[in-house]
Each structure stands twice: as C-alpha cells, then as structure tokens.
C-alpha cells in the first residue's frame, strides 16, 4: 500500500473506506502495514492507522517521520500524533491533500537521506517562554444594537423590531445551538415583514465576525405536495434530481438566513418538512454533500417566515367600555348582576420583554392552529412577531425613503427633498386607500422618474437636492 494512493482515490473508494471504518468495533483501528511514504520521508515506510471514536474520525502514523518536503498535510502527519476530524469529509480532504508522489526507493532510485535542508529546530532557536497574541474574542451584538440598526431600515414597527432583535441576540449568544432560530412574522401586506428579514441579514454580516448569506424563497410557488423536493432535492431518477435544492445553501455557509415568504400559501407537506429542521436542526440530503455527509446542518441558521394571517388579538384599549376579559361573573334572575375582577396593571413596567414575547407568541400560536395549521407544526416555531398596520407618520417616512431609493436607481444621492414635493406625493398616494405602501413606488415613478432620468446623467454619483414643485421638479447640486 502506498500513501500516494489516497490523493488519487475516487469518491467510491472513499465511500468504501468510510464503511470499513464505521464498521470497526470499539477501540479497533483499520491498519495499513508497511505503507510506502512519499519521497523525502525517512524512514520510507510506516504503518498508517484510521479509526473512529464516539464522534471523531482520526488518522496517524505509528512513528515519527523526518520529512524534508513542504506538503502541509504530510508535515502534520509526520509527527506521529493522531489527527482528529469532526467528519469523514474533513478527513477525506486531509488525505487527498497528501503528496501524490511515491517514496524514492519505490521508483528505483536511492532511499531518501538527510540533506543540507534538514535541521533540528531546537538547535537553532528556543521557543520556551514565548506566547502567541491573544485572539480577539468573538463579539456578539446585544439586542439593543441590533434593534437600533434595524430601525434605520424598518419604519413604524418598533415592537416587532425589538422582538426580532431580542430573539436573534439570544440565538447568537449560544456557542453550541441545538436548533436554528425560527420566527414567523405575520400581519397585513406591505408592513415590512420581508424587509425586516432582509435587513437582519445585512446587519448581522456587519456586526458579527461571520458573513451571513441570505436565501429568499417565495412559498406561494410551493402549492403542490411534490414541490417539497425543491427544498431537499429530488430522489434519484426523478425530474429535478440535478437541480440545486434550496437547502443546499447551508452546505456552503452554516450561517445562512432563510427567508420564506407567504407561509400560508405553501402545501401542508412543505410545512411538515420544516418540523425536523426547526426541532432538531437537521435534515437528510438526497445527495452526498461536499463534506461527505448526507445531512444538512441548520443549527446556526435563522429561519424567518412571513404570513398574511391575522393572528393578533383584538385591541384591548377600553375606549370607555370594559373588555370581555375583565368580566369575572354574570348572574341573572329578575335582574342581571355583573362582577368584575380587579384591573391588572397595563404599563410597560408591569411586564418584562420576555413575558411579552412569550404571551404574544403563545396567543399567535393558538390562532395559527385555529387557522388550520397542525398543532405539531405550529409548536416548532420559536417566536411569532406581529407587524401592525402602519400609521400615517410611518407611511410618510416610508414614502420619503422610497423617493431616496428611487434616486439611487438613477445613481442620484438625494440630500434634501423639498416639503412642497413631498406633500404633493403624500396627497397623491394617500388620498385614497392604497392597498399597501408598495403602491407608493408607482406614484413616485410617475412624477419623478422622468426628471431623475433626464438630469441623473449629469449628476451621477453626486449629492443633490430635489427642489421645485411636483409639476416642475428640479435637481440641483447640494
């Protein structure tokens, strides 16, 4: 057996090797006696051992080897110490990185001998007492920081943003999470549910040491039972087997935010697919992944689902009348006697953030079940977040934000919008009952797109002001 056979082995050979290692009894090792080592190794042969303990795979040589080459994998293996790997895929990559050339005497030349480049480190330098620099500890942003950054993008949803920020921060602080964070953002269309999910991905990539990837999927196209295969991959022989499934993104980046829009439109079989993922953090793959496993690992991911379900409770503001929950008892004989329980404190100080999130989530979870979702599916989601109807002030700010974003489309950076133009846009877009704030974009394009297109070429990338009136808008340098 030559060590050079490992870098050139096929995937099928490695699958056989994994089965042989996995089949070993406890404390047993798969040995390759008198394994011929690459050139530059003294001695030229050694016994190679492969085994698996309770969780890790390991590889070692039974003796110290003097190696004069510069292959990093061979340098690591020559020390005579077992090297552990979290998965067989990691060990496979290590073995494939070994030199593919054989020992010198195997090719007919003289055995490798000590050269002028070989040396004993201790004869040259003493490393005793030296220390390595302290690595900067991984910083996890607190929820107030996440909330502050999200509020720059999401307008008029302070309670929802606070809940998402709080739950996200709790998940980020887990060093060994057992399951992903899952949030259902529900409420009327056009209130910022999807925008909050997309903003969270950008914010975490800026605040954390990891780079978060984003995968956005419209579940309104998953209305058939077989569409579940678009998530996990089709079985061999079925249409779509060679297509990349949605979940494969986690194989490239363990820190992925999955956004699934319009959960209420998906087929029930699609919802069932999420049960094991949200509960155990894992899901079987139809194909072997690049790391050699057949299992997706979602434990460090964040799942955000949006839904147009109205799961929130009705407003409990009294407006001069008692609410139903305050009635303790009603007795009637000739007359009706009504008794009331003492009013519970309703201030912000009387209930903690954790209590509020728990109460809101459980109330929405029950409403989710009443809407027809299976109880065992509804129980898997960590948190339900309600997005409220936007008030007029929030709509005006969103309208102004969309004017600025429209300017970006024409490479124009607005630093000022005249109040006359903004008021005219407010009157035009909010005089009727627009379905969502998404309708604002068509009004903005109708009034300003021509001006942006005409003058944008002259002010590309510059800071400019939007002056004049809605009938005669003007762009002037700041």
The CATH number for 285's domain is 3.40.50.300
DSSP 236: T
Using one digit for the tens of pLDDT, what is the confidence trace for 216-238? 999 999 999 888 889 988 877 77
User: Cβ atoms within 10 A of the Cβ of 123, count?
Assistant: 7
Same domain, 180 and 90: no
CA 85, CA 311: separation in Å to the nearest integer? 46
Same domain, 156 and 70: no
307, 341, 361 - which closes a domain: 307
Does residue 326 sit within a domain?
Answer: no
Does residue 78 sit within a domain?
Answer: yes
**What residue ranges in 172-319 does DSSP mark as E strands?**
181-186, 213-218, 256-261, 282-284, 295-297, 302-307
Query: With contact defined as beta carbons under 8 Å apart, do 41 and 112 qualify?
Result: yes
Same domain, 36 and 159: no
Mean pLDDT across 333-347 = 48
Using one digit for the tens of pLDDT, what is the confidence trace for 63-99? 888 888 888 888 888 877 788 888 888 889 889 888 8
pLDDT at 133: 66
Does residue 91 sit within a domain?
Answer: yes
Instruction: State the virtual CA torsion across 142, 144, 146, 150 in degrees, nearest 10.
Output: 180
pLDDT at 148: 93
Same domain, 151 and 276: yes
Instruction: List the structure tokens of 341.
Output: 């329980």
Same domain, 153 and 273: yes
Mean pLDDT across 369-373 = 84
Same domain, 184 and 295: yes
Instruction: List the structure tokens of 283.
Output: 């899901």
Using one digit for the tens of pLDDT, what is the confidence trace for 177-211? 999 999 999 998 888 998 999 899 889 988 888 88
Same domain, 111 and 178: no
- Helices 193-207 and 158-172: crossing angle, nearest 10°? 40
Same domain, 247 and 163: yes
Place of tokens 């996200």: 168
Query: With contact defined as beta carbons under 8 Å apart, do 191 and 157 qualify?
Result: yes
Using one digit for the tens of pLDDT, what is the confidence trace for 384-397? 999 998 888 888 88
- Quick check: bond before 24 cis, omega within 30? no
Cβ neighbours for 96, distance < 8 A, ≥ 6 positions apart = 6, 7, 9
Does residue 312 sit within a domain?
Answer: no
Q: At 110, phi and psi to the nearest 5?
A: -70, 150
Q: Is 182 exposed, middle or buried (0-12, 13-18, 19+ CB in 10 A)?
A: buried
Q: What range defines the domain where residue 18 resides?
A: 5-115
CA 448, CA 178: separation in Å to the nearest integer? 51
Place of tokens 């109460």: 359
Same domain, 293 and 162: yes
307, 328, 354 - which closes a domain: 307
Does residue 161 sit within a domain?
Answer: yes
Does residue 25 sit within a domain?
Answer: yes
Cβ neighbours for 338, distance < 8 A, ≥ 6 positions apart = 327, 329, 330, 331
The total domain count for the chain is 3
pLDDT at 317: 32
Cβ neighbours for 129, distance < 8 A, ≥ 6 positions apart = none
Same domain, 456 and 410: yes
Same domain, 291 and 165: yes
Place of tokens 């999130």: 357
Does residue 58 sit within a domain?
Answer: yes
Q: Is pLDDT above 70 for 106?
A: no
User: Cβ atoms within 10 A of the Cβ of 59, count?
Assistant: 22
pLDDT at 387: 93
Beta bridge partners of 474: 467
Confidence of residue 305 (pLDDT cuts 50, 70, 90): very high
* Element containing residue 266 per DSSP (H, E): none
Same domain, 24 and 157: no
96, 115, 134 - which closes a domain: 115
Does residue 382 sit within a domain?
Answer: no
- pTM, to two decimals: 0.62
**CATH code where residue 440 lies:** 1.10.8.60
Q: Report the length, in residues, of the chain.
A: 478
Cβ neighbours for 467, distance < 8 A, ≥ 6 positions apart = 416, 418, 421, 473, 474, 475, 476
CA 384, CA 402: separation in Å to the nearest integer? 28
């Amino acid at each position: 057996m030559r060590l050079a056979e490992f870098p050139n082995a096929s995937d099928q050979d490695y699958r056989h090797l994994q089965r042989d290692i996995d089949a070993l009894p406890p404390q047993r090792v798969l040995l390759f006696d008198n394994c011929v080592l690459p050139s530059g190794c003294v001695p030229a042969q050694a016994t190679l051992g492969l085994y698996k303990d309770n969780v890790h795979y390991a590889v070692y040589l039974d003796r110290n080897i003097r190696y004069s080459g510069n292959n990093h994998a061979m340098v690591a293996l020559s020390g005579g110490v077992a090297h552990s790997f979290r998965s067989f895929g990691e060990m496979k990559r290590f073995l494939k990185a070994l030199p593919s050339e054989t020992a010198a005497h195997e090719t007919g030349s003289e055995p490798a001998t000590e050269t002028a480049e070989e040396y004993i480190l201790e004869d040259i330098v003493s490393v005793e007492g030296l220390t390595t620099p302290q690595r900067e500890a991984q910083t996890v942003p607190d929820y107030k920081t996440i909330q502050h950054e999200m509020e720059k993008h999401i307008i008029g949803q302070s309670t929802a943003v606070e809940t998402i920020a709080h739950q996200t921060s709790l998940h980020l602080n887990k060093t060994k999470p057992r399951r992903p964070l899952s949030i259902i953002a529900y409420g009327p269309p056009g209130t910022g549910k999807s925008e909050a999910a997309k903003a969270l991905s950008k914010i975490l990539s800026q605040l954390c040491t990891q780079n978060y990837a984003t995968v956005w999927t419209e579940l309104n196209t998953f209305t058939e039972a077989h569409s579940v295969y678009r998530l996990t991959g089709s079985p061999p022989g079925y249409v779509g087997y060679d297509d990349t499934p949605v979940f494969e993104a986690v194989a490239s980046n363990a820190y992925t935010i999955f956004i699934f829009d319009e959960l209420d439109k998906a087929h029930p079989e699609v919802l069932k697919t999420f049960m094991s993922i949200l509960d155990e953090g894992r899901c079987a793959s139809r194909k072997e992944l690049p790391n050699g496993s057949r299992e997706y690992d979602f434990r460090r991911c964040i799942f955000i689902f949006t839904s147009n379900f109205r799961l929130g409770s009705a407003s409990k503001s009294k407006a001069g009348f008692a609410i139903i929950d305050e009635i303790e008892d009603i007795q009637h004989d000739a007359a009706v006697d009504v008794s009331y329980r003492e009013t519970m404190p309703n201030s912000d100080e009387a209930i903690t953030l954790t209590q509020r999130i728990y109460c809101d989530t459980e109330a929405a979870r029950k409403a989710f079940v009443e809407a027809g979702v299976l109880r065992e599916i509804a129980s898997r989601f960590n948190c339900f977040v309600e997005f409220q109807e936007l008030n007029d002030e929030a709509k005006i700010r969103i309208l102004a934000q969309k004017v600025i974003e429209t300017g970006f489309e024409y490479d124009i950076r607005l630093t000022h919008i005249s109040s006359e133009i903004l008021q005219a846009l407010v009157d035009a877009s909010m005089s009727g009952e627009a379905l969502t704030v998404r309708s604002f974009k068509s009004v903005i394009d109708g009034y300003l797109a021509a001006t942006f297109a005409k003058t944008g070429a002259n002010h590309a990338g510059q800071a400019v002001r939007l002056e004049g009136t809605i009938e005669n808008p003007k762009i002037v340098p700041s």
